[in-house]
Amino acid sequence: MRKANCQWLSRRDLLIIASIFVVITYFMYRGILPGVEFHPSQTGLTLSGPEKTSVELRYDEVFSAELAENPDYGANIGGGVRGSFHYGTWENEEWGTYEAFVSEKIPCCIVLRTENATIAFNFESQDTTERLYPQLQERFGD
């Protein structure tokens, strides 16, 4: 039986192939993570995530806002996970059924409650999320 001849691949070609493999593997496991798209307006805000998940709410509908530290996000009951990002409908003991727009890499999230929904989200980083919370509280009048 004849041995395969791989001399047609130079060392440079092998390095390029290996580099491409590393990049693809990185994005498969880490993911090109979808983040929360946060769009505030004068009267409300819109949160969007992957799979066309989104929620719009008016500030005057929010009756409760809290900054949750190291929350247990519970179980996925109609949402999904991409990398560390949770989106869609989830459920836990503390909040019940809620809409998630959160990254587990950020150790806190903002939880907003309206008469019809509970929404948990964080944005960009712990620092950004923590700075956003009092700004939103002013809008809600909490």
**Domain presence at residue 2:** no
Query: Looking at 6-20, 75-89, 114-128, which range is the least confident one?
Result: 6-20
38-81 residue pLDDT tens: 788 888 889 988 888 899 999 999 999 999 999 999 999 998 99
| Sign (positive or negative) of CA dihedral 39, 90, 133, 103 | negative
Predicted pLDDT at 41: 86
**Stretch 99-122: mean pLDDT:** 95
Distance CA 63, CA 54 (A): 20
**Domain presence at residue 84:** yes
DSSP state letters, 9-52: S-HHHHHHHHHHHHHHHHHHHT------EEEE-SSEEEEE-STT
| pLDDT confidence bin for 15, thresholds 50/70/90 | low
Identity at 80, one-letter amino acid code: G
**Domain presence at residue 5:** no
**Domain presence at residue 23:** no
* 118: β partners: 113
Predicted pLDDT at 7: 60
Q: What is the DSSP letter of 2?
A: P
The mean pLDDT of the chain is: 83
Q: What is the DSSP letter of 136?
A: H
**Stretch 95-105: mean pLDDT:** 95
112-137 residue pLDDT tens: 999 999 999 998 899 999 999 998 88
Coil/strand/helix, residue 82: strand
Distance CA 90, CA 97 (A): 6
Distance CA 65, CA 108 (A): 13
Predicted pLDDT at 96: 97
User: What is the domain-level CATH number for residue 85?
Assistant: 2.30.29
| Sign (positive or negative) of CA dihedral 54, 59, 65, 69 | positive
Q: For the chain, what is the domain count?
A: 1
| pLDDT confidence bin for 11, thresholds 50/70/90 | confident
**pTM for this entry:** 0.75
Predicted pLDDT at 119: 96
**Domain presence at residue 28:** no
Predicted pLDDT at 30: 46
Name the nearest CA neighbour of 100 among 88, 82, 115, 114. 88
Residue 87, domain extent: 37-140
